[in-house]
Structure 1
């Protein structure tokens, strides 16, 4: 698979990564239903076979179960993978959520040691703060993260779901490699508010989660009733009632362009992100979708095609219904 530089600090990754959230963890049942370890390992194996070695997880997924699954998947081939994980949603010594976000120095050190143990490794390639701690200055959190780099336990640093102001302040303490947040043809707030401009200015990469609009951009959804009774998307405005059908019109336009190019709507949506210079991390629990998603790395888009795609939902406009409160829960992603 083609590779690219993520940010300006030296990290090289495939142009499309793998979001692992759905592969293991009791909390993921809230969105995806019950996960199966065998299927999760098969998805990771196939991704690695296809050259996708950028694997994204978090201590919050499970909690801890997702990192432990990843440890099993990469055993004996740690040198062949790039691991990204996250901390911030506070987990106590019993492995349970406390309901707080914690970015204090002592907790960051504790969380990093726990993730290293869960992942079965002595270093983390890319370590994100999952959400900023409103009670702790970003500078204090970054100092603790920078100390992990100095100790050799972490190679590169990132943040998730942060404002442009916090990005500037954090980057002034220690260079950031990447920002992870929701971004897709369906959700372009980062372009609207100038955050992507700041990332370009500072040489920081963007890693979009939910690059397929939480499944909307696959073109497979036909009605709000397509979701299981326990599917979290039933509670999101964009998937409800009239909003759903308004958004479906946008997806139909995307599918029309995809058919002309003889690719799937999912592949076209991912190819657009890659063409913008970002590294999406679509998640799936099925090998066939891993293969479909990663094939998008081979799609070339012309400037005219990019403009046509962006005209479906131009800047300043929004899909019907807001996205979830990304600062509230680790269950929003992919």
Structure 2
């Protein structure tokens, strides 16, 4: 049994391993679903290695990733902090965001069943429904806390002002956002807001969706149904430019005696003790390598060098296509406009 250092997320008492495991790619978006037995072994290996924080969502699959975790956690429930999310619905091939109270409650009940648990440790609003005042959505989540169905409330891809409004209704324990060497726009407004309010930060895609593990050749190894093939940063004209960032990260990593992915992950770990990255993987050797990033120590000079080569202007391409909901378009109407 391994053990990893623990960190506190938020101010309400949630404690997790300093690195978590993002489970999405086991079931969805990154090519075909991986064999169930192998993924269960991987999850068990992660827990044996000291990872206690597992991240999923009802829309991964949809639903199949939660079912997988439910099976994997039989007899191990007390060893982990389980995070899942609600709010993204695929209706007739169209994606819709929902944060209305009836939906929030129904989604939670369904996730509890699929995960085969009595209580979800951290329940996130996956994306903000801009038709529903955030106070209404969080108000319903607050009831779920009072009923013991969830322990802590999280938000994902919410703007600073939306986070403030939510936190005024019920303390927000964690905000999940994309943060890595090549996605740093959150540093300006959202990270400082979380720190001011005592909210933990969960960094998804800390390896740039695999870019810092495999470099520019990643795109050649992806299956046709891997959604990364459509992301702007992986298009040829942008990749040619972004390749230079990888080469320089790789150069620094070689000098330090670690892999480029460990270096990129160590950079996230060095952002502070209120930050938990959740790199996803479907391979045990990658999981072991990611855990190794926790022992990579960076000096102030190395941090500055990494930041200078991956500053905002140096990365070509948006992180998502134009239609995706992110914190940039997450404002909700004010409460006075709501007719329940």
Q: Shift of residue 255 of structure 1?
A: 0.7
Q: Shift of residue 219 of structure 1?
A: 4.1
Q: Shift of residue 225 of structure 1?
A: 3.5
Question: Counterpart of 2:279?
Answer: 282
Alignment of 1:305-320 (within 5 A): 305-314=302-311, 316-320=312-316
Question: Counterpart of 2:181?
Answer: 185
Q: Shift of residue 58 of structure 1?
A: 0.5
Q: Distance in 2 between matches of 1:173 and 1:98?
A: 31
Q: Distance in 1 between matches of 2:260 and 2:148?
A: 41
Question: Counterpart of 1:235?
Answer: 230
Q: Distance in 1 between matches of 2:179 and 2:257?
A: 24
Alignment of 1:37-52 (within 5 A): 37-52=36-51
Q: Distance in 2 between matches of 1:282 and 1:326?
A: 24
Alignment of 1:96-175 (within 5 A): 99-175=95-171
Q: Distance in 1 between matches of 2:321 and 2:132?
A: 20
Residue 31 of structure 1 aligns to a residue whose secondary structure is coil
**Contact conserved, 1:58 with 1:67, CA < 8 A, in 2?**
yes
Question: Counterpart of 1:87?
Answer: 86
Question: Counterpart of 1:293?
Answer: 290
Residue 297 of structure 2 aligns to a residue whose secondary structure is coil
Q: Distance in 2 between matches of 1:67 and 1:166?
A: 27
Residue 22 (structure 1) aligned with residue 34 (structure 2): no
Count residues in correspondence: 321
Residue 317 of structure 1 aligns to a residue whose secondary structure is helix
Q: Distance in 1 between matches of 2:69 and 2:81?
A: 11
Q: Shift of residue 15 of structure 1?
A: 0.8
Q: Distance in 2 between matches of 1:242 and 1:133?
A: 33
**Contact conserved, 1:131 with 1:327, CA < 8 A, in 2?**
no
Alignment of 1:58-77 (within 5 A): 58-77=57-76
Distance 1:237 1:90, change over 3 A: closer
Residue 322 (structure 1) aligned with residue 318 (structure 2): yes
Question: Counterpart of 2:240?
Answer: 245
Q: Distance in 2 between matches of 1:39 and 1:264?
A: 25
String of CA shifts for 1:57-88, please: whole Å, max 9, x gaps.
00111111111110111101111110000000
Mark the runs of 5 or more structure 2 residues left unpaired by the alignment.
327-340
Alignment of 1:201-220 (within 5 A): 201-220=196-215
Question: Counterpart of 2:336?
Answer: none
Question: Counterpart of 1:4?
Answer: 7
Q: Distance in 1 between matches of 2:17 and 2:60?
A: 23
Q: Distance in 1 between matches of 2:24 and 2:67?
A: 12
> What RMSD, in angstroms, separates the aligned Cα atoms of the two structures?
1.9
Moved more, 32-41 or 222-231: 222-231
Question: Counterpart of 2:330?
Answer: none
String of CA shifts for 1:285-326, please: whole Å, max 9, x gaps.
111111111111122222222111111122x52411111149
Q: Distance in 2 between matches of 1:111 and 1:318?
A: 40
Residue 16 of structure 2 aligns to a residue whose secondary structure is strand
Mark the runs of 5 or more structure 1 residues left unpaired by the alignment.
none
